[in-house]
Amino acid sequence: MQNLLLDGATSNIGSIIMVGVLILLMVVYLVFGTINRNKNQEQDMKMLSDLKVGDKVVTNAGIYGEIVSQKETDMGKVVVLKTGCEDNDKKASFITLNASVILGKDTKKDLILDAEGNVIEPTEELKSEVMGSAVDEKDSEDDSAEESKEDKLNPLTARRRSKKNEEK
C-alpha cells in the first residue's frame, strides 16, 4: 500500500516538472522572440530613415526601382519609384508608395558566366572588357537573325561575337 502511494507521488512530481519545463521554454521563446523582433524593427526604421533620392530599392512585392522623390506626410514617408527601363525615361513607369513597403536596398549584381555557364567572380579588367564588347555589339548593325535572347543576355557570348567580328 505504501508502495502505491509512492508511485502516485512520483508520477505527480514528474508531471509537475514536465509542465514547469514547458512553461519555462515558452517564456524563453517569447522573450527571445520579442528581443529579435525589436532588433529587426530598429534595423528597418534605420534603413527607412537613411533612404535618399537615387537609391535603388526592392519592395515587399518584389518591385525593383529607383527612388525619384520622397516626402513626409501625416501617414508617414511616401516615395516615388522609377521602374522599368533605366536608360529611357519614355519606357519607365513611376509608382508612389508608402516607404514602409520597401524591403531593402537593391544589392543585385550582374552575373558573368564562363563558357560552361558557371558564375565567375568579375574582375575590373573583365568588367570593362565585357561592358565594352556589349556596347560594341549594340553599335554594330550587322547582327545576325539567328542570335537568341539567351545569347544576348550572356556577356561572354557577346565578347566572343565581338572577337569574331574583329577577326573578319
pLDDT per position as a tens digit, 109-142: 767 777 787 777 766 666 666 566 554 454 454 4
Sheet order of strands, 56-59 included: 93-98, 76-83, 64-73, 56-59, 102-105
Contacts of residue 71, defined as CB under 8 A and 6 or more positions apart, other chains included, come to: 77, 78
Within this chain, do residues 45 and 80 fall inside the same structural domain, yes or no?
Answer: no
Domains held by the chain: number? 3
- CA-derived radius of gyration, the chain: 29
Within this chain, do residues 77 and 30 fall inside the same structural domain, yes or no?
Answer: no
Within this chain, do residues 146 and 127 fall inside the same structural domain, yes or no?
Answer: yes
What is the span of the domain harbouring residue 13? 1-50
Within this chain, do residues 64 and 24 fall inside the same structural domain, yes or no?
Answer: no
Question: Which range among 21-25, 76-80, 163-167 has the greatest average pLDDT?
Answer: 21-25
From CA 115, how far away is CA 128, in angstroms rounded?
18
**C-alpha closest to that of 64 among 89, 42, 92, 44:** 92
Within this chain, do residues 45 and 58 fall inside the same structural domain, yes or no?
Answer: no
Q: Is 89 helix (H, G, I), strand (E, B) or coil?
A: coil
Angle at 62 between CA 43 and CA 88, to 5 degrees: 110
CA distances from 4 to 14, 20, 112 (A): 16, 25, 76
Within this chain, do residues 122 and 162 fall inside the same structural domain, yes or no?
Answer: yes
Is the pTM above the cut of 0.75? no
Within this chain, do residues 59 and 41 fall inside the same structural domain, yes or no?
Answer: no
From CA 19, how far away is CA 26, in angstroms rounded?
11
Question: Which range among 8-12, 18-22, 101-105 has the greatest average pLDDT?
Answer: 18-22
Q: Is 144 helix (H, G, I), strand (E, B) or coil?
A: coil
Q: Which of 105, 120, 148 is the last residue of a domain?
A: 105
Indicate if the pLDDT at residue 44 is higher than 60. yes
Within this chain, do residues 127 and 158 fall inside the same structural domain, yes or no?
Answer: yes
